[in-house]
Structure 1
């Protein structure tokens, strides 16, 4: 059998001596009825060429291989193998050879582009460690933790149906990868609005529930791994409707008093623990963290297909009438709440959100993240502040 490799002299390649490169391979062999014609293999265009592809002789069986600078005519390497099975020793022809390697292109530094659906680069760089967005109705600030890729996401839809007094917002804390949080940020708020339209604006609690369940079903059909805690705030018809599945939390400032509008879905919660055990699962505690099946530390959210029997996507929903004493709403992932209490969040943010001529909610979001980090938070954090007076 023979093998011929054509080596290009194009300037995009530089000489190296350690590897033999080709891109594509074409194979041909003579028929068994023509024994005089040797089977041949012709390799061209430079992919990685290793001993697993063609069995080469040991160094003791070969003479020295002469490496020369590229000439104006491509040189070839012919390998003659004495077996149809390519299993015997080979002889390298004495044609001058040059082995070339493609130059690696320079690394691109792509900046972060923040949108209303909280998109982040797949591989966070220094530029992706901190993202901030400021609007008239809301601000959001996200910071990557020290555990790996940024898995928190957010979304914001304002001026719903052309009404400046309506909007829907969300914070999503992913686990086991970014896919679930990204999917929820793109689809959950839209699914809730679609459910409302289908019901002619009635039964908002059921609309939110079905929006969550539909998003979960759609994500599971994609067969992606991982899951996400979800928290949404819908403002319409003078009402604030907050839904959550997981341990993201919503806290409103009522004349300076913190009021939690959600309850964290953790396996340690008695009703959640009872529900899981009734459905055949178990909850245990390791290093002061309660987990389902010894694995997941939250009991609701979208995704988590391998635990779907116990990790449900059905949200809990709270409805408040918008009144002047409701100043601002904080939506945040657990990276903040694990280190800062509800009242501390309101006390820290309020001086920058109310009672001043020019509110600075973005500075308040940053200050809350800095406070959590100073207390040892290493988790991803996403903090959104919604100025409720904009919707009254």
Structure 2
């Protein structure tokens, strides 16, 4: 899966329809739209079945996702539209060049995507310097030859639902860690990388922020915090760091985990931080484990929305009436992909089904 929270100035990948309108003409092949909600209730993937859903809260949709099934591997993720297109293309190129998937291939794809985005920033620097402030979190999951590769740069999260035979329960196992300054380990990492900068992390309005500006410590883009050449006019002052810097403040390289898929591994939940603000890992896993598969991603989104409404002491039915923009006061954009793991399908060397390429944005499936 490719997943992520993106930035402020990008156009949304889909535009909401009139409430109840079905953009797919009644078919779930390309997903459906219901107001601010997009969903693809079910489909087949290289590892089994999947379900996807996206709910918009911001004026511009800041979450998007993509799922791919190729002949020998499948990919899932969250990220910015440009980042997603580049990441998939580069993964395909590097996998072909290296005759297979590896940690090195994934790292190269992330860093090459970063370089491609930097080219775009330079190209638009004089006419539209805002590109230097555009960034995307990026969570990628790849299943290949019985292995699950998780690569993360940002604050999205993937959680595994795995059977604990000792208790006959499906337990939540978090497979990625958020690169968010709210976590002590992230603050410690930043301080160790920038020992001469006492302001590398600042507590601002009860929230820890890198340089008092941004919460994440890794991303694709955000060139103004990685390259001093963009920390100047014509970029708006609100994005500029007061003091010059010699080395990147943020990182683009991902944290990568490799997990051998076992028969006890039942499903994966890939989601942006908007979901995890309202549901714990185990709560999400319990919902997926106890409810029908069809539409399960949409059910997770709605569970998070109900919790958001409860926190504001309002009814869920009233929250649904609030339009995007204003809706952001109650919850963030939320993207979810649930990937069920069929161990027999995971163990195959080739995907025998059709090519699958679907974006969690209403743009269709091949």
> Which TM bucket (shorter chain)?
0.5 to 0.7
- 1:366 paired residue number: 298
Confirm whether residue 205 of structure 1 aligns to residue 103 of structure 2: yes
Among 260, 284, 289, the alignment partner of 2:202 is: 284
**Could you say if the C-alpha distance between residues 324 and 383 of structure 1 is closer, same or farther in structure 2, counting changes exceeding 3 Å?**
same
1:195 CA displacement = 2.0
Query: How many aligned residue pairs are there?
Result: 255
Unaligned runs of 5+ in 1: 1-115, 173-180, 354-358
Q: How does 1:237-276 map onto structure 2 within 5 Å?
A: 237-255=145-163, 256-276=170-190
1:352 CA displacement = 2.9
Q: Which entry has the higher C-alpha Rg, 1 or 2? A: 1
1:284 CA displacement = 1.2
Counterpart Cα distance in 1 of 2:186 and 2:105:
23
1:123 CA displacement = 5.5
1:287 CA displacement = 3.1
| TM-score using structure 1 length | 0.61
- 2:339 paired residue number: 386
**Could you say if the C-alpha distance between residues 329 and 182 of structure 1 is closer, same or farther in structure 2, counting changes exceeding 3 Å?**
same
Confirm whether residue 132 of structure 1 aligns to residue 64 of structure 2: no
Say if 1:156 and 1:168, in contact at 8 Å, map to a contact too. yes
1:122 CA displacement = 6.4
| TM-score using structure 2 length | 0.65
Counterpart Cα distance in 2 of 1:387 and 1:194:
27
Among 179, 195, 209, the alignment partner of 2:94 is: 195
RMSD: 2.3
Q: What's the secondary structure of 1:194's corresponding residue?
A: helix
The Cα offsets for residues 131-166 of structure 1, whole Å up to 9 and x where unpaired, read as: 112321222100001x321111111110x2x34xx2
Say if 1:229 and 1:302, in contact at 8 Å, map to a contact too. yes
Q: What's the secondary structure of 2:137's corresponding residue?
A: strand
1:121 CA displacement = 4.2
Greater RCO structure (CA 8 Å; 6+ sep) = 2
The Cα offsets for residues 198-254 of structure 1, whole Å up to 9 and x where unpaired, read as: 22226x111111111111111121112411111111001111111110010000100
Confirm whether residue 144 of structure 1 aligns to residue 56 of structure 2: yes
Among 208, 216, 220, the alignment partner of 2:114 is: 216
Structure with bigger helix share is 2
Unaligned runs of 5+ in 2: 4-10, 19-32, 122-130, 164-169, 227-247, 309-329, 348-366
